[in-house]
């Protein structure tokens, strides 16, 4: 009997195979889309029947005996799907280097009626691209927004005013340009209840993002807009003197962006009338600038909402719904520039939530011995995310375990080293991270724990905790540690999850995983 396969093991194996098939299918569809673009560029037919029949015969010859009877039907279906995908109207995002763009995923979530590619071009290749006819249109990112504006025959008001185009459509023999960034910024503010009407607003930076922000602020009726940069009249040496009465501050610089997350430009406590802070940076999701504002009780909003909302307006243009696009951010509409139809808002919020959860780490904090490490390992297995146990990362980096450092140089030395590990891993994206129980003992770690994570405080009854191989718990006792750390666990987390004792560990893991992933939707 011992040699017979176990049903659960076989199902697990099948799940792994299916996951691999999905990865390969994603790669195949992307390659088919690229083939379609190349064929259009060279004036070739997308569908070649003779090539398809040759492919069927070749695949049947190399197929294994169990799959051979099904190969033709399977690949006929695959090729039919591929033809549909290749023949979709082709759009994309144009830039010079776009290794980390989220645009293809965002557009696929909004509308599947068109395909979406990454279009990397050098400046001297832009004119050829605009005349090629390969794409029906594209989004434009840095450094080409002003180039795109100059190449358009027709422009919307935002593009005319800003001199910047981020959405291009080839239609009726003309090149039409829109700027949807300003709508993204308006949406970003309004979803968090931040009003700039009649307010004094300080804008940090004067680059491409700032031009759309200035347009949006004027559209929303800001009373006064200060521009601050290195060489402007108001700069970082005199900003407190000349713009100290700012009520809203907007960061349009890359300061605080991953990987240089520790940077921030201003001392917010010097702005006595400050009510809110907005940051166009979206990685990390909670920049140092925004966390400092949160600590002061100010309203805040981050750049992911701007990224998603501007993409939604672009998607309406690409899908042929220009009337729907023009309704968004329209200052002349009866409802005002901030109005968004409920159906559009629901779609935007859904995509924000999907991306936010995908980009953010699942980070677990809590008492030593509460089961954080093994729970994190199980979550990583279920989600397919990379696991980072900060205690293991500590040992790999320093060549000593936390226990060895605690028993040697001592706790102060260990905490300093732990801060280095926190700063290295917690600002990253899409991980599952298990933190040491004492990470909350150093206030500096709060920024790192919260900057790019959905933070879960795993709360267990003290009687369920173990102090085995935990020198600090053994030295001070879990009751004392809990009383010292409880408030910080609660204030640092986004979600508290409580689990009593479980007779079976797997039952605890199953319940905890279901609750944690359930909270993330």
Give me the sheet containing 224-228, strands edge to edge: 224-228, 200-204, 248-251, 276-279, 299-301
Could you give the C-alpha distances from 61 to 3, 52, 73, 89, 513, in angstroms and in order?
A: 33, 15, 14, 35, 45
Q: Are residues 364 and 377 in contact, defined by beta-carbon separation less than 8 angstroms?
A: no
End-to-end CA distance of the chain: 42
Examine the residue annotation and report whether 199 is marked as an active-site residue of this protein: no
Give me the sheet containing 167-171, strands edge to edge: 115-120, 90-95, 137-140, 167-171, 174-178, 154-155
Strand boundaries in 423-484, DSSP class E: 431-434, 453-459
Strands 453-459 and 361-366 come out as: parallel
Could you give the C-alpha distances from 305 to 187, 203, 281, 302, in angstroms and in order?
A: 7, 18, 10, 7
> In the structure encoding, which two tokens stand for residue 309, read together?
């909302």
Nearest to 278 by CA among 294, 261, 301, 297: 301
Say how many CA atoms lie within 13 Å of 435 toward its Cβ.
36
Between CA 87 and CA 96 the distance in angstroms is 26
Annotated catalytic residue, options 136, 145, 176, 313:
145
Query: Looking at the annotation, which residues are catalytic?
Result: 145
């Amino acid at each position: 009997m011992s040699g017979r396969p176990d049903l659960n093991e076989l199902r697990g194996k099948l799940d792994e195979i299916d996951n691999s098939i999905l990865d390969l299918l994603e790669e195949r569809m992307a390659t088919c889309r690229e083939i379609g673009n190349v064929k259009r560029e060279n004036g070739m037919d997308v569908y070649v029947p003779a090539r398809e029949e040759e492919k069927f015969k070749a695949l049947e010859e190399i197929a294994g005996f169990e799959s051979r009877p099904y190969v033709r039907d399977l690949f006929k279906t695959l090729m039919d799907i591929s033809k549909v995908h290749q023949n979709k109207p082709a759009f994309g995002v144009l830039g010079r280097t776009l290794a980390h763009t989220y645009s293809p995923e965002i557009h696929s979530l909004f509308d599947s009626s068109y395909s979406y590619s990454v279009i990397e071009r050098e400046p001297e290749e832009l004119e050829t691209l605009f005349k090629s006819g390969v794409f029906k249109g594209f989004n434009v990112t840095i450094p080409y927004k002003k180039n795109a504006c100059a190449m358009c025959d027709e422009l919307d008001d935002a593009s005319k005013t800003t001199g910047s185009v981020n959405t291009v459509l080839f239609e009726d023999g003309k090149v039409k340009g829109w700027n949807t960034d300003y709508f993204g910024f308006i949406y970003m503010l309004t979803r968090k209840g931040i009003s700039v009407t009649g307010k004094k607003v300080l804008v940090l930076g004067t680059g491409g993002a700032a031009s759309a922000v200035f347009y949006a602020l004027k559209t929303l009726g800001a009373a006064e807009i200060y521009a601050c940069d290195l060489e402007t009249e108001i700069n970082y040496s005199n900003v407190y003197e000349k713009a100290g009465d700012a009520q809203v501050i907007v960061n349009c610089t890359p300061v605080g962006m991953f990987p240089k997350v520790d940077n921030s430009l201003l001392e917010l406590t010097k702005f006595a009338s400050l009510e809110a802070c907005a940051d166009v940076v979206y990685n990390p999701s909670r920049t140092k600038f925004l966390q400092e504002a949160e600590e002061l009780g100010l309203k805040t909003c981050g750049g992911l909402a701007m990224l998603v909302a501007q993409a939604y307006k672009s998607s309406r243009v690409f899908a042929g719904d220009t009337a729907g696009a023009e309704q968004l951010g329209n200052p002349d509409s009866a409802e005002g520039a901030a109005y968004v139809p409920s159906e559009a808002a629901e779609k935007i919020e859904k995509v924000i939530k999907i991306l936010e959860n995908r980009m953010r780490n699942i980070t677990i904090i809590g008492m030593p011995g509460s089961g954080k490490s093994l729970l994190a390992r199980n979550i990583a297995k279920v989600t397919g995310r990379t696991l980072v146990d900060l205690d293991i990362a500590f040992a790999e980096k320093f060549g000593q375990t936390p226990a060895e450092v605690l028993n040697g140089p001592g706790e102060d030395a260990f905490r300093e080293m732990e801060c280095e590990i926190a700063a290295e891993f917690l600002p990253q994206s899409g991980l599952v991270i298990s933190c040491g129980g004492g990470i909350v003992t150093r206030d500096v770690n709060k920024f790192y724990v919260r900057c790019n994570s959905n933070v879960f405080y795993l709360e267990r009854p003290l009687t369920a905790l173990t102090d085995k191989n935990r020198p600090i718990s053994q030295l001070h006792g879990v009751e004392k540690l809990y009383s010292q750390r409880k408030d910080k666990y609660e204030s640092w987390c986004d979600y508290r999850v409580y689990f009593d004792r479980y007779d079976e560990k797997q039952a605890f893991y199953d319940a905890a995983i279901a609750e944690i992933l359930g909270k993330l939707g």
